[in-house]
Amino acid sequence: MKSDIILGGVGGQGILSIAAAIGLAALKNNLHLKQSEVHGMSQRGGDVQSHLRISSKPIASDLIPKGKADLIISVEPMEGLRYLPFLSKDGWLVTNITPFNNIADYPSIEDLLKQIKAFPNHIAIDADAIAKAAGSSRSSNIVMLGAASPFIDIPYERLEDGIRQLFGKKGDELVNTNLKALKAGREFTEKNR
C-alpha cells in the first residue's frame, strides 16, 4: 500500500498534529514513512504545507512528485486549492470551509466553494462547527483527519491509537474529545462522499 498525502494550512493552524497522528498510526502498522515539514520564515501567518508519505515499501523522495498525491487535507478552504498540481487524477481533496483571512485580497467564500465543488472528488466540511458540536472547538484538525480517514489506507482503529498516543499525556478527557472529533469527521465523509 501507499498513501501520499499533502497537508495544507496557515502557519499556526497546527497541521503537524494531523501529520503526527497519522505518523504514529503508520508506525504501529509497521509501514515506512517520510514526512517533510515547513519550519521557519513562512510559519508566521504564511501558507504552510507538509508532505506525508506512507508505504509498505521503502520510500525514496521526501517530497511527493507533482500529480502523485492521493489526498490533500487542508484545514482552510483556499490553502487546499494551492496544492492541486500535486493531486493525482483520482485523488481526493478534503478541506475545511472555515476561512483563515489574514490578507487584503482574500477571495470570497462563494468563489472558493465554487472551485472546490467543481472538483469531483471533494469533501468540504465545516470542521470548526463539527468540532464545537463534538465538545471542543480546538479539535477541528482532528475532525479533518476523521473526514480524510476513509481515503487513508490505515485501519481506523490504528488512527484511534495514534490519537491516544498523541494526547495521552494530557489526560483522558482530551483523548476522548479528540476521539469523538475523529469519529464526527469520519461520519460526515461517509454521509457526503
Partner 1 sequence: MEKLLLLGDEAIAQGAIDGGMSGIYAYPGTPSTEIMEFVHGSKIAEDLNIHRLWSANEKTAMESALGMSYAGKRSMVCFKHVGLNVAADAFVNASITGVNGGVIVVSADDPSMHSSQNEQDSRFYAKFTMIPILEPSNQQEAYDMAYYGFELSEKLNVPVMLRITTRLAHSRAGVQRKEMKKQNQLKLPSDPRQFVLLPAIARKNYKKLIGMQPAMEVESEKSPFNQYIDGADKKLGIIAAGLAFNYLMENYVDGKNPHPILKLSQYPLPEKQVAKLYNQCDAILILEDGAPLIEEMLRGFLNLGKPIHGRLDGTVPRDGELDPNVVAKALGMEVHEGQVVPEVVKNRPPSLCQGCGHRDVFEELNEVLLDYGTGRVFSDIGCYTLAALPPFNSINSCVDMGASITMAIGAADAGLVPAVSVIGDSTFTHSGMTGLLDAVNKNSPITVIISDNSTTGMTGGQTSAAHGRIYEICKGLGVDPEHLITMIPLKKHHEENVKILRRELEYKGLSVLIPQRECIQTFARRKKSEKNESNE
Which of the ranges 74-82, 121-129, 130-138, 152-160 carries the binding residues for partner 1, by CB under 8 A?
74-82
> If you compute the radius of gyration of the chain from its CA atoms, what whole number of angstroms results?
15
Kindly tell me which residue out of 2, 14, 28, 36 binds partner 1, with binding defined by CB under 8 A.
Answer: 36
Which of the ranges 36-44, 138-146, 152-160, 179-187 carries the binding residues for partner 1, by CB under 8 A?
36-44
- Given a contact cutoff of 8 angstroms between Cβ atoms, the answer to whether 33 and 59 are in contact is yes
CB of residue 21 to partner 1, shortest distance in Å: 13
Grid cell digits, residue 140: 477541528
CB of residue 150 to partner 1, shortest distance in Å: 20
**Cβ-based burial of 135 (10 A; exposed 0-12, middle 13-18, buried ≥19):** middle
Which of the ranges 60-68, 151-159, 173-181, 182-190 carries the binding residues for partner 1, by CB under 8 A?
60-68
Which of the ranges 40-48, 132-140, 153-161, 179-187 carries the binding residues for partner 1, by CB under 8 A?
40-48
Applying CB under 8 A, does 14 fall inside the site for partner 1? no
Residue numbers 151-180 binding partner 1 by CB under 8 A: none
- Write each residue from 98 to 137 as x if it is in contact with partner 1 (CB under 8 A), else as -, in one continuous string: ----xxxxxx---xx--x---x------------------
Which residue lies nearer to partner 1 by CB, 15 or 130? 15
* DSSP string for 97-157: ------STTPPPHHHHHHHHHTSSSEEEE-HHHHHHHTT-GGGHHHHHHHHHGGGSSS-HH
* CA–CA gap between residue 89 and residue 67 (Å, rounded): 7
* CA–CA gap between residue 62 and residue 54 (Å, rounded): 11
